[in-house]
Structure formats: C-alpha cells, structure tokens
Chain A
Amino acid sequence: EVQLVESGGGVVQPGGSLRLSCAGSGFPFGIYWMTWVRQAPGKGLEWVANIKKDGGEKYYVDSVGGRFTISRDNAQKLVFLEMNGLRAEDTAVYFCGRGRGYDATNYYPGMDVWGQGTTVTVSS
C-alpha cells in the first residue's frame, strides 16, 4: 500500500522549533519530488515547501523562507520539515505529499498521495 505518515507535531511556544518527519512506503520514494502543505484552523490549504528527488532543489512559500528547511533521506524514505522561529500564524495541520516522479526513462504524474497530517500549535 502506498502510504505517507507524518509525525513530530506538537505544542510549542512562539520562537520555538519543531522538526516534522514524513515516512513513505509502498512506492519508490527516491524518484519523487516531495511536498509539505499546511492548513490553519478554518482556513484553506497552503503550499509550504518542495524538495527535488535528490534534494538538489528546494523551494519555499515566502512566509516561511529563512525559518523552515525541507530535507530528505532517501535511504530511510523520509522527508523532514525543520521549523524555527515559529509564530502563531504557523499553527496548522501539516501534510506531506508525493509530487511528480522521474526515473531514467519514465515520468510519473504523482500529486496523488498525502499523509493524514500532524498538528502544530504555536502558543504561549
């Protein structure tokens, strides 16, 4: 079964840090871009960050640039989101998702698998 499972959420004070993890299984993790998106309470979905299959390219939404870092460990089939300088407005459910995939000969549309989410609450 193709699956993504997030962990690492919790309650943190403003200015604090958290590291979210996302474990992939059931698919060739290392050929896919990976994505983090979030949803604040009562709000819509917001793209947060992307990382290329080899980790060589990373992109962030403006509001988290310089504070959040996306990384991956393909051997362990994990993608991470290191969050520093957390603010109240970062409070949200964070989802990881599978992006597009590429291997030597094929393209895989992806964009189809998301984890169940992990909740981050930034509050004093």
Chain B
Amino acid sequence: SYELTQSPSVSVSPGQTARITCSGDALSNKYAYWYRQQKSGQAPVLVIYEDSKRPSGIPERFSGSNSETLAALTISGAQVEDEGDYYCYSTDYTGNYWVFGGGTKLTVL
C-alpha cells in the first residue's frame, strides 16, 4: 500500500524557520495537504491545501511546496503556539486511496 514518510520530530527556537518534509512517490502529480493537531484526539486543522495554498485564518508564516516526490511545510519565524503534530495527507496514483504521513512533532522552545 502507498505510504507517505515524515521525520518523527523537528525542534526549533522561537523565531527560527521550521521545515517539515513528506516524501511519497505519487506526490509528483498529486496534491499535498498539511494538518496540525495540537493534541492527540483533537480535530486536525488544515494549514496548507493543494501543496501551497493557505486557508483563511492561517498565518502567513505558514507556506508549502511540492517538488517531484517531496512536499514541505515551512513555518517562517515559528512561534510557541505552533507546536503540535503535523501530518501530510495525499492520495496514491489512482487518486482514490488517501493516506496520512506518520506525523512530525514540532517543538518550539
């Protein structure tokens, strides 16, 4: 089955840039979505959709990119309130079967 791979954790100091990556073969022609979950069991919050678009209400410091088989979420000037688990989300080549990456725990301190 299709998989998306994320590194387990990223740690930065406040004001630094945090970059979270997601690799998957089908990302070369499928959109990546990014969600933040501040606590396990809470509803995920969409922070980036369709590779690089930012929903209303999401700060401009959040940006996304997708190149070949690697998608990335960048938080420029990370703040303490950005801490949480970040998940990438995309489909396999058929576009019918979705998968989450394993999640990356972002620590800002």
CB neighbours of A61 from chain B (8 A): 1, 97
Q: Which residues in chain A, 63-119, are within 8 Å of chain B measured between CB atoms? A: 93, 95, 109, 111-112, 114-117
Asked if residues B100 and A37 are in contact (CB atoms below 8 Å), the reply is yes
Q: A44-B103, A45-B44, A114-B43 are in contact. Are A59 and B53 (CB under 8 A)?
A: no
**Minimum C-beta distance from A42 to chain B (A):** 7
Partner of A45, one of B46, B55, B97, B103: B103
Chain B residue with the shortest CB-CB distance to A93:
B41
Partner of B53, one of A35, A50, A93, A109: A109
**Minimum C-beta distance from B7 to chain A (A):** 13
CB neighbours of A45 from chain B (8 A): 35, 37, 44, 87, 89, 100, 103
Question: B50 within 8 Å of A by Cβ?
Answer: yes
- The size of the chain A interface, using a CB distance under 8 A, is 23
- The size of the chain B interface, using a CB distance under 8 A, is 25
Q: A112-B49, A117-B41 are in contact. Are A47 and B87 (CB under 8 A)?
A: no
**Chain B CB within 10 A, most for which of A41, A47, A50, A111:** A111
CB neighbours of B102 from chain A (8 A): 44
Asked if residues B43 and A44 are in contact (CB atoms below 8 Å), the reply is no
**Minimum C-beta distance from A94 to chain B (A):** 11
Chain B residue with the shortest CB-CB distance to A50:
B98
Question: A54 within 8 Å of B by Cβ?
Answer: no
Asked if residues B46 and A111 are in contact (CB atoms below 8 Å), the reply is yes
Complex formed: what's the CA distance from A35 to B1 in Å? 19
Chain A residue with the shortest CB-CB distance to B96:
A59
Chain A residue with the shortest CB-CB distance to B1:
A62
Complex formed: what's the CA distance from A37 to B64 in Å? 23
Asked if residues B41 and A44 are in contact (CB atoms below 8 Å), the reply is no
Question: B62 within 8 Å of A by Cβ?
Answer: no
Contact flags B74-109 to A (C-beta < 8 A → 1, else 0):
000000000001010100000011111111000000
Interface residues of chain A, those whose CB is within 8 Å of chain B, are 35, 37, 39, 41-42, 44-47, 50, 57, 59, 61-62, 93, 95, 109, 111-112, 114-117
Interface residues of chain B, those whose CB is within 8 Å of chain A, are 1, 33, 35, 37, 40-44, 46, 49-50, 53, 55, 85, 87, 89, 96-103
